[in-house]
């Protein structure tokens, strides 16, 4: 099932299942995927953090929905309907974009595909901001493909100059770049001075 997932996406799924088990939840939902993503360094984790959602805050929000119960004694924790829908949506997005590997960006798009889900409620996603989220996530996917060290530990490091150039290149395709470019660059781990430099480069 996970043959075409990047290592970061696989780690996110594994962490999500372990979190559900640790909290005594009978099934893992799309909301647990948020925990899995935030538990490890990846581009989707950076994007969530830039929007104010780190691991601790996401755990706190999730537990207001489901609470914490005794450790589950189940060997295997199944996915609930929201998790299955998120995975299917993520795979469909990956296929539509013509991309071979499913990374954590695709997974995050799948997670927020249902505005009624607990995961979307945890992120406070609604009709007013859903497109902004999608734009930023789609840009992060493009960056992850161009800069795979965000998804796979690289043998050779990409320099910051090369990274910045790639981000600027992809930013040129983003609608409403004035609002989106800084978010996307920060999500990719570019420092504020470099963000300003990038903005000045984009006339």
Q: Which domain holds residue 126?
A: 7-201
Residue 86 lies in a domain: yes
Q: What are the CA-CA distances from residue 199 to residues 29, 48, 108, 192 (Å)?
A: 38, 22, 26, 10
Residue 60 lies in a domain: yes
Q: How sure is the predictor about 135, in pLDDT bands with cuts at 50, 70 and 90?
A: confident
Give tens-digit pLDDT for 164-187: 565 556 555 555 555 555 555 555
Residue 134 lies in a domain: yes
Q: Which residue has the higher pLDDT, 46 or 58?
A: 58
Give the pLDDT score at 141.
78
Closest CA to 185 of 166, 113, 110: 166
CB burial of residue 117 (10 Å; 0-12, 13-18, 19+) = buried
CB-side neighbour CA atoms (13 Å) of 159: 3
Residue 34 lies in a domain: yes
The total number of structural domains in the chain stands at 1
- Rounded to whole angstroms, the Cα distance separating 75 from 72 reads 8
Residue 30 lies in a domain: yes
Burial 127-144 (b: 16+ CB within 10 A, else e): eeeeeebbbbbbbbbbbb
Whether the full predicted model's pTM is greater than 0.85, yes or no, is no
Q: How sure is the predictor about 58, in pLDDT bands with cuts at 50, 70 and 90?
A: very high
Residue 2 lies in a domain: no
Residue 59 lies in a domain: yes
Residue 1 lies in a domain: no
Residue corresponding to tokens 């929007």: 51
CATH code assigned at 103: 1.10.1780.10
Give tens-digit pLDDT for 86-131: 999 999 989 988 888 888 999 999 999 988 899 999 999 877 788 8
Number of residues that make up the chain = 203
| Residue 35 pLDDT greater than 90, yes or no | yes
Burial 91-105 (b: 16+ CB within 10 A, else e): bebbeeeebebbbbb
């Amino acid at each position: 099932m996970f043959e075409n997932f990047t290592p970061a996406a696989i780690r996110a799924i594994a962490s999500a299942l372990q979190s559900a088990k640790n909290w005594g939840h009978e099934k893992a939902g799309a909301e647990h995927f948020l925990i899995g993503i935030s538990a490890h360094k990846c581009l989707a984790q950076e994007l969530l953090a830039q929007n104010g959602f780190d691991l601790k805050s996401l755990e706190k929000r999730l537990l207001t929905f489901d609470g914490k119960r005794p450790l589950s004694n189940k060997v295997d924790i199944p996915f609930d309907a929201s998790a299955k829908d998120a995975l299917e949506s993520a795979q469909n997005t990956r296929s539509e974009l013509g991309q071979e590997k499913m990374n954590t960006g695709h997974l995050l798009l799948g997670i927020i595909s249902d505005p009624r889900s607990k995961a979307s409620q945890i992120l406070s996603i609604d009709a007013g901001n859903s497109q902004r989220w999608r734009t930023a996530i789609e840009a992060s996917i493009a960056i992850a493909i161009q800069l795979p060290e965000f998804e796979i530990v690289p043998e050779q490091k990409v320099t910051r100059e090369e990274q910045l150039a790639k981000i600027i290149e992809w930013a040129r395709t983003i609608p409403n770049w004035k609002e989106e470019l800084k978010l996307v660059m920060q999500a990719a781990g570019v420092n504020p001075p470099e963000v300003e430099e990038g903005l000045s480069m984009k006339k």
